[in-house]
Amino acid sequence: MPNVFASPHPLVAHKLTRLRDVQTDPKKFRELVREIAGLLAYEATADLALEPRQVQTPLAKCAGYELKEKIGLVPILRAGLGMVEGVWGLMPSAEVWHIGLYRDERTLQPVEYYNKLPVAPTVSVCMVLDPMLATGGSAVATVDVLKRWGVNKIKFVGIIGAPEGIALMHQHHPEVPIYLAAIDERLNERGYILPGLGDAGDRQFGTA
C-alpha cells in the first residue's frame, strides 16, 4: 500500500504482542505504548530536513547538523496522550498541541471537544499521534484541522491500523504517510479493530 509503513522491527513486533495481550495491566500497557511510539517515531522521522551547524568539540571545530523545521506533536485525546512521552524524548524541542476527539458510539463519527490551536501555525511539521486507526474518522478530522491551521507537512503515527481506516485516510489525505506497528484484518460491527488490542484509551487509563 502506498504511503503506509508497517514497522519491520523485531522490537516493535515483540512489544506489540505484549500490548495486545488481554493480561497486560494498565501500567505495563502505558509503558509499551510509550516505547512503541518512540520506535515508530524514529522510523517516521528519517526524512526530516537538516541544516548545517558547526560545533566545537573539546579538540576541534566539527561540521554538524540541527533539525531545520519546527515540529509539532499532536496527540488525539485521550489515547494519543500515552504516545507523547516516547516521541518527545527523542525531540524535546517539539511543541505539543492537543486535539480532543471522541468517537460517537452509535454513528462512529468523531466529535471534536478540545482544540486550543492559536490562529497562526507555530510549527511546520506535525506528527499526529493516536494508537488506533479504526474507521479513520478521527485521523481524517485531525488532519483536516491541521490543514485549516496552515500546516501541510503532516505524518500520522499510530500503533494498529485497520484497512478501512487506511483507505479513508488515502481517500481524504493521500499525501499523509501512515506509520504503524501493524495492519490488522478488519473492523468488527462496533468499529473495533480485529484482532486489535481492545479499547486503547480504557486500557491505558484503567477505565474499562
Residue 100's binding partner among ligand PRP, ligand URA, none (Cβ under 5 to 8 angstroms by kind) is none
Which string of x and - marks every residue 117-146 that binds ligand URA (by CB under 6 A)? ---------------x-x------------
Angle between helices 137-149 and 163-172 (to 10 degrees): 30
Query: Cell for 187?
Result: 473492523
Instruction: Quote the CA–CA distance of 69 and 103 in Å, as a whole number.
Output: 32
Stretch that binds ligand URA, among 63-71, 109-117, 170-178, 187-195 (CB under 6 A): 187-195
Exactly one of 18, 24, 144, 202 is catalytic; name it: 202
Counting contacts by CB under 6 A, is residue 182 touching ligand URA?
no
| Shorter beta-carbon distance to ligand PRP: residue 55 or 167 | 167
Shortest Cβ 4–ligand URA spacing (Å): 17
Query: Which of 125, 131, 119 shows the shortest CA–CA distance to 159?
Result: 131
Instruction: Quote the CA–CA distance of 132 and 139 in Å, as a whole number.
Output: 9
Shortest Cβ 150–ligand URA spacing (Å): 29
| Shorter beta-carbon distance to ligand PRP: residue 44 or 160 | 160
Report how many helices (DSSP H) and strands (DSSP E) the chain contains, helices first: 6, 15
Cα–Cα distances (Å) from 179 to 25, 132, 174, in that order, read: 25, 11, 13
Instruction: Quote the CA–CA distance of 192 and 104 in Å, as a whole number.
Output: 13
| Shorter beta-carbon distance to ligand PRP: residue 132 or 157 | 132
Residue 136's binding partner among ligand PRP, ligand URA, none (Cβ under 5 to 8 angstroms by kind) is ligand PRP
Cβ atoms of 121 and 69 closer than 8 Å: no
Q: Please give the residue ranges that form the binding site for ligand PRP (CB under 6 A).
A: 76-79, 101-103, 108, 110, 130-139, 165, 191, 200-201
Residue 137's binding partner among ligand URA, ligand PRP, none (Cβ under 5 to 8 angstroms by kind) is ligand PRP
- Is 21 in the active site? no
Alpha helix segments (H runs only) across the chain: 10-20, 26-44, 81-88, 137-149, 163-172, 200-205
Cβ atoms of 18 and 192 closer than 8 Å: no
Exactly one of 107, 122, 186, 207 is catalytic; name it: 107
Exactly one of 18, 24, 103, 144 is catalytic; name it: 103
3 DSSP 8-state letter: T
| Shorter beta-carbon distance to ligand PRP: residue 72 or 137 | 137
- Is 144 in the active site? no
Just list the catalytic residues: 103, 107, 199, 202
